[in-house]
Amino acid sequence: MTAYDDLMEFTRDTQALGQVAGRLGWDQETMMPRGAAPQRAEEMAAMESVLHARRIDSRVGDWLAAIDDKTLDAVGQANMRHIRRSYERTSKVPAALATRIAKLTSAAQGIWAEARAADDFKAFAPTLAEVIMLKREEGQALAAGGDVYDAMLADYEPGTTGADLEAMFGAMRPVLSELRATVRAAEGPAKLSGSFDEGAQMKLTRQLAKAFGYDMARGRVDKAVHPFSSGSGLDVRITTRTNESDPFNCFYSTIHEVGHAAYEQNIDSAYLLTPLGSGVSMGVHESQSRIYENQIGRSRAFTGWLFGQMKDAFGDFGIKDEDAFYGTVNRVGDGYIRTEADELQYNLHVLLRFDLERALMTGDLQVSDLEAAWNDRFEADFGYAVDKPSNGVLQDVHWSVGLFGYFPTYSLGNVYAGCLNEAMRKALPDLDANLAQGDTSAATAWLGENVQTHGGLYEPREVIERAAGQAPSEAPLLAYLKEKFRGIYGL
Amino acid sequence: MTAYDDLMEFTRDTQALGQVAGRLGWDQETMMPRGAAPQRAEEMAAMESVLHARRIDSRVGDWLAAIDDKTLDAVGQANMRHIRRSYERTSKVPAALATRIAKLTSAAQGIWAEARAADDFKAFAPTLAEVIMLKREEGQALAAGGDVYDAMLADYEPGTTGADLEAMFGAMRPVLSELRATVRAAEGPAKLSGSFDEGAQMKLTRQLAKAFGYDMARGRVDKAVHPFSSGSGLDVRITTRTNESDPFNCFYSTIHEVGHAAYEQNIDSAYLLTPLGSGVSMGVHESQSRIYENQIGRSRAFTGWLFGQMKDAFGDFGIKDEDAFYGTVNRVGDGYIRTEADELQYNLHVLLRFDLERALMTGDLQVSDLEAAWNDRFEADFGYAVDKPSNGVLQDVHWSVGLFGYFPTYSLGNVYAGCLNEAMRKALPDLDANLAQGDTSAATAWLGENVQTHGGLYEPREVIERAAGQAPSEAPLLAYLKEKFRGIYGL
């Protein structure tokens, strides 16, 4: 056994234990009896402590020192890149600081939830200030003199900097804001109304999951409060939710999570339980969920097929034809909440958070000014005022649990999806004819071969560049959105 | 922190990780997608390896050496008894032997399953001989000059010896065999026939679980191929199964598993995630499942109530009244299979296995003679011949996975249930009036206070002795069975 073999064997066990911890998380949201929560917290903490001990295990340092990456093949070198990055990250952060962050963010999530329920930002502000202070300290340790926010981004999107995103998002904001205003001034498509049996929603949602290539033999669909995808390799489970008056929430949550899950399921099986065996970054992950959900799932062609399926499942539900249905699916509405936003407005929500959290990290924005900054920016971009903190600065859990640098990956994913969609459409000129039959196989196969199969083999931007044939840019997404929404709104 | 505090903190994490591994097992039997099996094997192996490393962790040896048990209170001393016993057991067995046993029994289970499917004992015999050889080697290491079979028993029922069981079972066998023959010669109650909707079975089975005090806020009921109970403390889950023609299988599997689960749920919450926080032995565990299932669940009083519930759920199903129903529930039938045996015959199946496995361990019986020995003994005790190995020596998985010393705990559990039932009936003279209303609360509260709450605080025999007010004996069980079955068969 070489040092590399030893390290990979150790890493394989760590990956397997990580999958176990992930499955506990799935169980907690779907199956766990409610009274089990205190015990589960101890079980999770014990698993976390096992995983942490493996991350700082001194043998890993010895193996890393003994391995000359240049003697390895491309897969070996990619494995080493992931393992070294993770080990160095852990080594840079003092253990005491990591413990303080873990304890604080665990408590902060509860404080945030209470403040949101009470619509009282001031009740959360001191805690948020503490979180920011500790996360900045962590960022400084990670950056080692470099940019603190870039160091945070690297946790979610290695290879992308704050400056990259500033340029990209800066180009997007005026276009999206103007398109949004134009669309909102026009007469929109009808809103869906009526009541849709939740059992029938779940039945159709399972059909949709299969239609998008989700392998049920290596996964399952359950209900949960928040839709999510969980696990890698041979056991990738998704959840969705139902609401009698809003079947689109169920269907598009499912398709979105199938995008995440299919990515995990379609990674080269040779990478199972190695660092290459899961999605390479948050942005690339989101590119898959978004292209499944939007560019494919909300396309004119696919919604035409879905219209028929919904009529079969629910009878006449008051939408007259496929064109009207396409409009209804893509209707641009009012709203304050990111997770409920339509395809056009979604990125405006993210851009706002990116600018604010970056300013919080640099110190250009203080927590005491955050609520006003949020409200001003929201009104500027959306044209109406935030009515209460739970519809504004308190709506997302992310900052309370210390996730800074995470929000922008949502929009980066949309940008990547735009690039991939352009290339995919070129490669598959007959795609719409297939989608109109509910057949997504050409699209999912193209994404499987060009993106998903690689897992962690390439760096995130390289994955997109190889698949799209050019460097990532916001231009395809913007062009796609303009064409789509001008068409729907007859502009 | 004292050495005891450190050891208990370490132990608490180990217990939590053990619960996680148990939950994976539950998931595998209930929720896991079938294609996930190869990955799950790696996840389980990684967990097992973490748990093993903790069992042999040298810090535990240091703590054990530093702790003077006499300075601790009763709970502390009981914790130390469990921890020392487990550590010493692990220390006594050479690591290489433990690995060989783990590998062999993992393969042997598959070989046994194939041999059973092919009804070919010879295909399994060489593997079984190997298992016995290694288990005997392990037993010798554990016994350190003492009785090998006693050392094996100690894994499941500390404090009980092969000689104890030989005396107890020796007194039971002629009585049971004679009662069996007498009953079988008489005209029996009607057999249940008809079709019973499986959805309605599950609905009623959940009612039964609640009626027996199972706390659904800290548990759940799912379907699985084999009924089981899993987990301790705040998360104790059970499974059952349905068969359209046999609702009793569903109901009494549920009640049996609720007996196991209620034991775990009712342990003093101060013992959560400590060595005292789960059932003290297999025998005491089985005493709870059996008394719930038989002495309470199959009593004349409770079946009277159940008859009404079944009529509500399924309409008229051809049994004329409560008395007839009581007979049908307790009907003594033909059969070869232990797990399907009625209350009267069940122990004869176990006594057979105890004598044979003990003889296998001492070397008085060779694997080459096992099938014949099984068949001879079966015909002597049951009055008819085994028709094929899958109905005989190949029916149980236990020996293939190295479980020697486990079988007798089933009958010991029945003996304990007999003792507890006698004491409980004395303490609760009005119990039948409650049971006739479907109200088991007096019985389950009595068992909760007198048995379950103690968890691992006392040694197994002491638990029963304290609750029953006298040393365990087979006499109450035999008297109960005689009275019950003579009554039902009008003898």
Any CB–CB contact under 8 A between A209 and chain B? no
Any CB–CB contact under 8 A between A43 and chain B? yes
Are A220 and A229 a contacting pair, CB within 8 Å?
no
Same domain, B150 and B136: no
A272 CB neighbours in chain B (<8 A) are 39
Any CB–CB contact under 8 A between A31 and chain B? yes
What does the pLDDT read at residue A161?
Answer: 97
Confidence of residue A212 (pLDDT cuts 50, 70, 90): very high
Averaged pLDDT for residues B80-108: 94
Sign for the pseudo-dihedral over CA of A214, A220, A221, A227: negative
Averaged pLDDT for residues A400-419: 98
**DSSP class of A104:** H
Any CB–CB contact under 8 A between A22 and chain B? no
Averaged pLDDT for residues A165-174: 98
Confidence of residue A149 (pLDDT cuts 50, 70, 90): very high
Side chain identity at residue B224, one-letter code: A
Same domain, A80 and A203: no
Any CB–CB contact under 8 A between A199 and chain B? no
Angstrom distance (rounded) from CA B456 to CA B443 = 21
Same domain, B137 and B191: no
pLDDT higher than threshold 90 for residue A361: yes
Any CB–CB contact under 8 A between A270 and chain B? no
A38 CB neighbours in chain B (<8 A) are 234
List % helix, strand, coil for chain A (3-state, nearest 5).
70, 0, 30
Are B253 and B297 a contacting pair, CB within 8 Å?
no
Averaged pLDDT for residues B419-432: 98
Averaged pLDDT for residues B229-239: 98
Q: Is residue A27 part of a domain?
A: yes
Q: Is residue A102 part of a domain?
A: no
Q: What is the CATH number of the domain that holds B349?
A: 1.10.1370.30
| Closest partner CB to B33 (pick from A36, A49, A218) | A218
* Closest-CA residue to B136 (of B150, B115, B156): B150
Any CB–CB contact under 8 A between B125 and chain A? no
Same domain, B404 and B482: yes
A–B CB contacts, 8 A cutoff, strictly below: 104
What does the pLDDT read at residue A241?
Answer: 96
Catalytic residue among A257, A264, A293, A474: A257
CB atoms B20 and A237 under 8 Å? no
Any CB–CB contact under 8 A between B89 and chain A? no
Q: Is residue A101 part of a domain?
A: no
Angstrom distance (rounded) from CA B478 to CA B438 = 26
Any CB–CB contact under 8 A between A38 and chain B? yes
Same domain, A85 and A163: no
- Nearest CA-CA distance, residue A7 and chain B, Å: 15
Chain B residue whose CA is closest to A49: B13
Same domain, A341 and A259: yes
Query: What are B269-300's pLDDT values in tens digits?
Result: 999 999 999 999 999 999 999 999 999 999 99
Q: Is residue A47 part of a domain?
A: yes
Q: Select from B142, B164, B196 the last residue of a domain.
A: B142
What's the total number of domains in chain A? 2
Any CB–CB contact under 8 A between A219 and chain B? yes
| Number of C-beta neighbours around residue B364 at 10 A | 11
Sign for the pseudo-dihedral over CA of A329, A331, A335, A341: positive
CB atoms B235 and A36 under 8 Å? yes
| Closest partner CB to A49 (pick from B13, B19, B273) | B13
Q: Is residue A13 part of a domain?
A: yes
What does the pLDDT read at residue A1?
Answer: 80
Are A227 and A257 a contacting pair, CB within 8 Å?
yes
Q: Is residue A142 part of a domain?
A: no
Any CB–CB contact under 8 A between B200 and chain A? no
Residue A64, token pair as written in the block = 């890393």
- Selected residue of B14, B26, B31 to mutate for chain A interface (largest A Cβ count, 10 A): B31
Chain A residue whose CA is closest to B34: A217
Pairing of the two strands B237-240 and B229-230: antiparallel
Q: Select from A57, A92, A127 the last residue of a domain.
A: A92
Confidence of residue A174 (pLDDT cuts 50, 70, 90): very high
Any CB–CB contact under 8 A between A482 and chain B? no
- Selected residue of A29, A34, A39, A57 to mutate for chain B interface (largest B Cβ count, 10 A): A39
CB atoms B23 and A19 under 8 Å? no
Confidence of residue B407 (pLDDT cuts 50, 70, 90): very high
Query: What are B319-376's pLDDT values in tens digits?
Result: 999 999 999 999 999 899 999 999 999 999 999 999 999 999 999 999 999 999 999 9
Same domain, B105 and B238: no
A32 CB neighbours in chain B (<8 A) are 235
Pairing of the two strands B221-223 and B237-240: parallel
CB atoms B43 and A17 under 8 Å? yes
Q: Is residue A356 part of a domain?
A: yes
Q: Select from A71, A92, A113 the last residue of a domain.
A: A92
Buried b / exposed e over B107-146, threshold 16 CB at 10 Å, is ebeebbeebbeeeebebbbebbebbbebbbbbbebbbeee
CB atoms B38 and A234 under 8 Å? yes
What is the domain range of residue A221? 158-491
Any CB–CB contact under 8 A between B376 and chain A? no
Catalytic residues of B: 257
What does the pLDDT read at residue A200?
Answer: 97
* Closest-CA residue to A257 (of A232, A215, A300, A286): A286
What does the pLDDT read at residue B1?
Answer: 79
CB atoms A23 and B19 under 8 Å? no
pLDDT higher than threshold 90 for residue B79: yes
Same domain, A232 and A366: yes
* Closest-CA residue to B148 (of B360, B361, B399, B401): B361
| One-letter-per-residue 3-state SS of chain B | CCHHHHHHHHHHHHHHHHHHHHHHHHHHHHCCCHHHHHHHHHHHHHHHHHHHHHHCCHHHHHHHHHCCHHHCCHHHHHHHHHHHHHHHHHHHCCHHHHHHHHHHHHHHHHHHHHHHHHCCHHHHHHHHHHHHHHHHHHHHHHHCCCCHHHHHHHHHCCCCCHHHHHHHHHHHHHHHHHHHHHHHHCCCCCCCCCCCCHHHHHHHHHHHHHHCCCCHHHCCEEECCCCCEECCCCCCEEEECCCCCCHHHHHHHHHHHHHHHHHHHCCCHHHCCCCCCCCCCHHHHHHHHHHHHHHHCCCHHHHHHHHHHHHHHHCCCCCCCHHHHHHHHCCCCCCCCHHHCCCCCHHHHHHHHHHHHHHHHHCCCCHHHHHHHHHHHHHHHHCCCCCCHHHCCCCCCHHHHCCCCCHHHHHHHHHHHHHHHHHHHHHCCCHHHHHCCCCCHHHHHHHHHHCHHHCCCCCHHHHHHHHHCCCCCCHHHHHHHHHHHHHHCCC
Same domain, B220 and B231: yes
Q: What is the mean pLDDT of chain B?
A: 97
A391 Cβ neighbours under 8 A, 6+ residues apart: A336, A337
| Closest partner CB to B235 (pick from A19, A39, A237) | A39
CB atoms B273 and A39 under 8 Å? yes
- Selected residue of B32, B42, B229 to mutate for chain A interface (largest A Cβ count, 10 A): B42
Same domain, B119 and B165: no
Query: What are B127-175's pLDDT values in tens digits?
Result: 999 999 999 999 999 999 999 999 999 999 999 999 999 999 999 999 9
Chain B residue whose CA is closest to A46: B13
A34 CB neighbours in chain B (<8 A) are 217
Q: Is residue A358 part of a domain?
A: yes
Q: What is the mean pLDDT of chain A?
A: 97
* Closest-CA residue to A347 (of A281, A428, A400, A413): A413
ipTM exceeds 0.90, yes or no: yes
Same domain, A346 and A434: yes
Same domain, B397 and B293: yes
Angstrom distance (rounded) from CA B45 to CA B49 = 6
CA angle B468, B227, B286 (to 5 degrees): 15
Chain B residue whose CA is closest to A25: B20
Chain A residue whose CA is closest to B220: A33
* Residue written as token pair 């109970």: B229
